[in-house]
């Protein structure tokens, strides 16, 4: 079931070349897919990327006119497996899901895909669910990109840049024969803006063409000795090809600033927050003009050493603004500059927190520390006047006036009576150990149900309780324990 209807908005996907597109980030991504000649699209729902699936479902007529196959996948793993069509054929394919939990589920398929390599452009659009508002454990997609040698795009939150990232992502994938991941934070998914549209394109090569002329290449099979050659190809051919493409197309942005002695290197997705923080510090204006040089990484993996050398040579220090941990980019930057004998100091987590989302306030604090140490003499603009402060309401009074509103099950959800029944059951049995599951089921861990001792992953509620069972039906050999897929009394373990 769709979370939201885009039946009216999808008509903007028909806009011809030269027309101005107005809309949400998710719609812009879909338009970019159609402008790129995508042949097939799949995916699995999950915030913050759910609405991309809703848009595609509502755009079936447009997809049909262009000959684009769309399918809602049973899981992230089955979505990733769809990209196997691009291994042997010049078919452009895209899939989408919530990361990193979805990427965990898809990791086997992605590792095999990345090893085999692709002929057609393979694009993985990921909802990077990190920071404030996230619903999962806090991890980063960057580790998966490095582990399997897939390229990672993190475009500046600006619709023309997001559209460009989709279109260039397909070309980067084809130029380097490598799957490309494109991550979108929640604010990028739902920001509104405009860009100049291009005509939609029918796939240059479609599934019918592939089926009419099937191709088999043992070198693309994931078995020795092919896998050894694939690893060598990743390093000797695909990586250099990707770095050349990134540099020649200017996917990353180098912006000069008046204060040449220092510079900022930032993930593209953090551009808006960084510019606002600089404005509040008096080091940038409201139109995006910064006093400090900027190196904006719209591609965060792989890095291009020549660009780092050009940006950092002659500077006293550069601040790497990298959200989350470990500090992969900061570590790589230190290595690149050391190998090229560049004296600029690499500053990062010394002034910025190791964990948590880099909001404007967090960045303002960290940037302030960096500038106080490395560019105190820089003439600061007059800082933006702070907004008048609203009268503060005491926390105790606020809590009494505003009821807590945790995430919860929808009104009328058929799972509600099930969890209510479990609450009634515990009145008779006493507390139960409940192995919960992800998705809407996980909301039962919150008030008013307060059920669930652990959540281990997609469909793993039963497996999460398996350690409490035994074939004999007894616990520790001392009593009449119960083997249940959801619950077990903790007081029965030691009987």
Tokens in use for 396? 């105790």
Residues 6+ apart with CB under 8 A from 223: none
Q: So what's the pLDDT on residue 491?
A: 45
Residue 219, judged by CB atoms within 10 A of its CB (0-12, 13-18, 19+), counts as exposed
Q: So what's the pLDDT on residue 457?
A: 80
For the chain, which ranges sit under pLDDT 50?
A: 1, 378, 380-383, 472-473, 480-485, 487-495
Domain spanning 253-374 has what CATH number? 3.40.50.920
Report the distance separating Cα 176 and Cα 92, nearest Å.
14
Tokens in use for 77? 């793993």
Domains 9-249 and 253-374 share a fold: yes
DSSP-derived 3-state class of residue 456: coil
Sheet holding 93-99, edge to edge: 69-72, 40-43, 93-99, 122-128, 180-184, 151-153, 299-301
Torsion of CA 258, 263, 268, 272, to 10 degrees: -50
Structural domain spans, the chain = 9-249, 253-374, 415-492
Encode burial over 403-418: b for 16+ CB neighbours within 10 A, e otherwise: eeeeeebeeeeeebee
Chain centroid to CA 460: how far?
A: 23
**Parallel, antiparallel, or unpaired for β 122-128 and 93-99?**
parallel
DSSP-derived 3-state class of residue 21: strand
Q: So what's the pLDDT on residue 495?
A: 33
Q: pLDDT tens digits for 31-42?
A: 999 999 999 999
Q: So what's the pLDDT on residue 194?
A: 96
Domain spanning 9-249 has what CATH number? 3.40.50.970
Q: pLDDT tens digits for 297-339?
A: 999 999 999 999 999 999 999 999 999 999 999 999 999 999 9
Report the distance separating Cα 348 and Cα 330, nearest Å.
7
For residue 324, is it left (φ>0), alpha (ψ between -120 and 50) or beta?
left
| Cβ proximity of 182 and 121 under 8 Å | no
Report the distance separating Cα 132 and Cα 359, nearest Å.
9
pLDDT over 90 percentage in the chain: 65
């Amino acid at each position: 079931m769709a979370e939201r209807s885009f039946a009216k908005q999808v008509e903007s996907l028909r806009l011809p070349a030269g027309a101005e597109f107005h809309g949400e980030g998710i719609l812009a991504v879909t338009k970019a897919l159609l402008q790129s000649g995508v042949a097939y699209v799949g995916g699995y729902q999950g915030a913050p990327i759910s609405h991309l699936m809703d848009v595609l479902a509502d755009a079936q007529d447009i997809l049909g006119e262009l000959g684009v196959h769309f399918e809602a996948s049973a899981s992230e793993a089955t979505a990733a497996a769809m990209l196997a069509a691009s291994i042997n054929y010049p078919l452009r394919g895209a899939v989408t899901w919530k990361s990193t939990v979805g990427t965990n589920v898809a990791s086997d398929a992605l590792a095999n895909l990345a090893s085999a390599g692709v002929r057609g452009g393979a694009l993985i659009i990921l909802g990077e669910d990190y920071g404030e508002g996230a619903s999962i454990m806090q991890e980063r997609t960057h580790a998966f990109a490095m582990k399997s040698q897939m390229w990672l795009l993190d475009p500046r939150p600006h619709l023309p840049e997001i559209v460009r990232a989709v279109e260039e992502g397909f070309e980067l994938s084809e130029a380097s024969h490598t799957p490309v991941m494109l991550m979108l934070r929640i604010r990028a998914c739902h920001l509104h803006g405009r860009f100049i549209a291009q005509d939609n394109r029918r796939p240059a090569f479609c599934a019918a063409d592939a089926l009419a002329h099937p191709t088999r290449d043992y070198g693309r099979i994931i078995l020795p000795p092919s896998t050894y050659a694939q690893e060598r190809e990743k390093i000797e051919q695909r990586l250099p090809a990707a770095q050349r493409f990134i540099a020649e197309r200017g996917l990353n942005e180098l912006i000069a600033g008046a204060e040449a002695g220092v510079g900022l290197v930032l993930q593209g997705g953090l551009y808006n927050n960084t510019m606002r923080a600089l404005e509040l510090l008096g080091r940038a204006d409201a139109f995006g003009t910064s006093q400090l040089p900027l190196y904006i990484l719209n591609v965060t993996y792989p890095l291009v050493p020549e660009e780092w050398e050009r940006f950092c040579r002659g500077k006293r220090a550069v601040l790497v603004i990298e959200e989350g941990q470990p500090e992969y980019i900061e570590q790589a930057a230190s290595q690149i500059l050391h190998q090229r004998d560049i004296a600029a100091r690499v500053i990062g987590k010394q002034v910025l927190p190791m964990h948590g989302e880099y909001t404007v306030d967090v960045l303002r604090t960290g940037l302030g520390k960096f500038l106080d140490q490395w560019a105190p003499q820089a003439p600061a603009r007059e800082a933006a006047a702070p907004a008048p402060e609203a009268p503060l309401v005491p926390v105790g009074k606020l809590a009494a006036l505003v009821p807590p509103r945790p995430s919860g099950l929808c009104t009328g959800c058929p799972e509600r009576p099930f969890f209510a029944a479990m609450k009634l059951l515990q009145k008779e049995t006493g507390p139960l150990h409940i192995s919960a599951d992800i998705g809407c089921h996980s909301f039962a861990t919150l008030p008013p149900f307060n059920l669930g001792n652990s959540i281990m992953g997609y469909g793993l509620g039963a497996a999460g309780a398996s350690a409490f069972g035994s074939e004999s039906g007894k616990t520790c050999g001392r009593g009449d324990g119960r083997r249940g897929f959801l619950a077990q009394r903790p007081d029965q373990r030691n009987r």
